[in-house]
Structure 1
């Protein structure tokens, strides 16, 4: 029996099957590539809390066959209510309900774990080889390839590391260890069945319809999101924190610490934290947007949090990782199988300035919300402009990552090609 002919398709290995990694896998598969998606967890569970996607990514989800399934389990909230720490309404932002008219596509808010299940299933539908329980610690940047703990080596045309803030792939790309930095803040976060609040006179009225509510105060801001026709409730509260993240950043929270932080705040917000279960204290790890996302060989690239972790206040962390994946896939398709260094370096050239600017929004947004009040009296002393909505990141909703490649490829790839040629001459 003769051996099967080699697969002529460009083979992409993606390490890390989070939302960014799955997006890259889906986009590459839709371009006709062979994709192997690896993750160290042995089984996926619908864990986490809510995550939001702006119109900049929901347009991609429609093209990729994800949107309908995601919309079916998403919040039906039409507005976001911003409140002062005492519960008084500052503004009502109707962007959620008007996004389709303003930006061409709705935004989505839903449970991260449930969305992830949809992404993984779509990967499998498209023929992506999804391999779980595979921890990758060694890369060969020249082949390129990855080595599994079993000793198996998987050789590919391109390797993409979307393995988060503690990325091993990033170390391979940079050539040195770049440890995560604690941002000085952490988030208390919880997600649970709303049934416990059905008979609560304070919280029950908020469960009548899906809603997003934001409270802001000195050095604190928090969201409560009601989902699935009032059946689920998600709460997050960003606070200052001085913990050392070297040993980890995901711990069970102490309810007494939270209640002390929101003492005297709106009774509705306080009651949510008095009763909600499964609270995690999540240390916010941060680093400035790296200025190198591609290995010197040009065959390994990083995406998402591995390259540019976003603070939650940007509401763009997941969306920007998705855009990375879309950009990589289209650049690989345009460059072709023998031109991976051109593709991955052009991906960086197209994305870097956009992501760098977007990442800064999360910092400026947090600082704005946390410094409106006198620290002692809690009286709001600075004027807050909400004429464009409550989020400074709405301008990112118009972006189209695939269109950016279509429009920018010729110029960016020509510059990258010239630079690669110069580097080759120097090495020679």
Structure 2
């Protein structure tokens, strides 16, 4: 088995071949990260993608610092990441009706005011198309094989042969020593790992759009308002609008404008990133439930300039924490959204998906080919409570964004932004696996239940003792205006 001293921080090509064949289903952030990290750890990798190409469209998401620490092993990828990052971004905040409550500040300065080190931010908003191109460049550099047009319709496991695999719609069969199901919330793997987790509508949806900045030329007054930040008006600017039960965000950068708004369901939404609506549908619904204080007219003018077939109306579904992430023999394992879906307010979906991939690749390398099942189970123990806590935090963040106390926000701007606690962003999933693999694997060998482990340092809120929770109970707390996170230090 590997150890911290002889394995930490090695670049690709430094690890001896493990002989482990890994089959990855899906090319989201979890799948792509798993592909390059498994290569770095010496595993043999093959990737299946249902579409004929990788979808690099979309707007933006938050990438936490814990998800980008592994970039240090990938010099070219790291350079690309720095080039596309918005390290010099500014931010200002409005009430939903347009009243400005927090004047423009460098994001670094806002972090300083929140008591964080601006030189090591908890993460940053990133453009999805740019991040995906960055990943694809590395996948191509490593010569990783992606089989396109392969829609997986079934997963299987053969414990006697110590193999697992999939069947595609074309009738092709693929097998490997371990299969990673990184194919999203509707993964066909669910029945193999313990049953489909029931999806419950949150009664909410997100309008999202990313489009070329030149479309703002249609409205010069709007363009003047949505200027970039900084003394020369050439640095990225994030503007947030917070209101009763709703919030919106607009990002302006050199080439692109991104607009996002959380809203009550209208009947035209779907849980799909390719389902679009047009701007009249948005304007007809955005003021519902707001009484005599409608949305900022400037937001409405922005919606009107968005080009056709651009506004995604994505319905939000809640899912209870997944009870199991692996097949019986632990040769098939869920990853990313397939294992743990997040509310957008959590700011954690992308981060935890990437952490998953780094953790599993490391555990497989430490355990070796003779201990694959144990390595997979150890990885899941590292990840489950952490992800359940991050999921739960999404409810607390939604409360901050949708029901801000403006009298307090003016004194403490931290109350108008999602919680980004240090137990999340300071975590290093690779280092954590090296330091704790043997201790965690030993709890499995001894039959100690996962929620009774006390020999492994927590990677979740210090002092927290895991308690199972469900969406119904959490929603009751949200409705009552109090979200009980349980014990421990969540900040």
Q: What range describes the TM-score normalised by the shorter chain of this pair? A: 0.7 to 0.9
Deviation at 1:138, TM superposition (A): 1.7
Paired with 1:107 and 1:369, the residues of 2 have a C-alpha distance of: 18
Pick closer, same or farther for the CA change 1:272–1:244 going to 2, 3 Å.
Answer: closer
> Please, which moves more after superposition, 275-284 or 198-207?
198-207
1:294 counterpart = 2:311: no
Structure 1 segment 122-201 matched on structure 2, within 5 A: 122-142=138-158, 143-174=163-194, 176-198=195-217, 200-201=220-221
The equivalent of 1:280 in structure 2 is: 312
> Please, which moves more after superposition, 200-209 or 33-42?
200-209
The equivalent of 1:345 in structure 2 is: 377
Correspondence for 1:308 among 334, 340, 343: 340
Flag structure 2 segments of 5+ consecutive residues without an equivalent: 1-16, 229-234, 288-292, 449-491
The equivalent of 1:86 in structure 2 is: 97
Correspondence for 2:130 among 84, 93, 114: 114
Correspondence for 1:216 among 224, 233, 242: 242
1:386 counterpart = 2:413: yes
Paired with 1:226 and 1:404, the residues of 2 have a C-alpha distance of: 37
- 1:59–1:105 CA contact under 8 A, matched in 2: no
> Please, which moves more after superposition, 63-72 or 257-266?
257-266
The equivalent of 1:410 in structure 2 is: 438
Normalising by structure 1, what TM-score?
0.86
Paired with 2:414 and 2:404, the residues of 1 have a C-alpha distance of: 17
The equivalent of 1:334 in structure 2 is: 366
Paired with 1:285 and 1:22, the residues of 2 have a C-alpha distance of: 24
Task: Output one character per residue of 1:184-209: Cα deviation in whole Å (capped at 9) or x when no partner.
Answer: 21000111011121452133342333
SS at match of 2:374: helix
Pick closer, same or farther for the CA change 1:157–1:27 going to 2, 3 Å.
Answer: same
Pick closer, same or farther for the CA change 1:196–1:43 going to 2, 3 Å.
Answer: same
Paired with 1:247 and 1:112, the residues of 2 have a C-alpha distance of: 18
Pick closer, same or farther for the CA change 1:408–1:316 going to 2, 3 Å.
Answer: same
1:47 counterpart = 2:48: no
Root-mean-square deviation over aligned CA pairs: 2.8
- 1:55–1:103 CA contact under 8 A, matched in 2: no
Count residues in correspondence: 406
Deviation at 1:162, TM superposition (A): 0.6
Pick closer, same or farther for the CA change 1:346–1:414 going to 2, 3 Å.
Answer: same
- 1:173–1:293 CA contact under 8 A, matched in 2: yes
Pick closer, same or farther for the CA change 1:413–1:242 going to 2, 3 Å.
Answer: farther
- 1:136–1:149 CA contact under 8 A, matched in 2: yes
- 1:157–1:299 CA contact under 8 A, matched in 2: yes
Pick closer, same or farther for the CA change 1:387–1:151 going to 2, 3 Å.
Answer: closer
SS at match of 2:226: helix
Task: Output one character per residue of 1:296-322: Cα deviation in whole Å (capped at 9) or x when no partner.
Answer: 111110011111111111111111100
Paired with 1:167 and 1:147, the residues of 2 have a C-alpha distance of: 13
1:399 counterpart = 2:427: yes
Pick closer, same or farther for the CA change 1:177–1:419 going to 2, 3 Å.
Answer: same
- 2:197–2:322 CA contact under 8 A, matched in 1: no
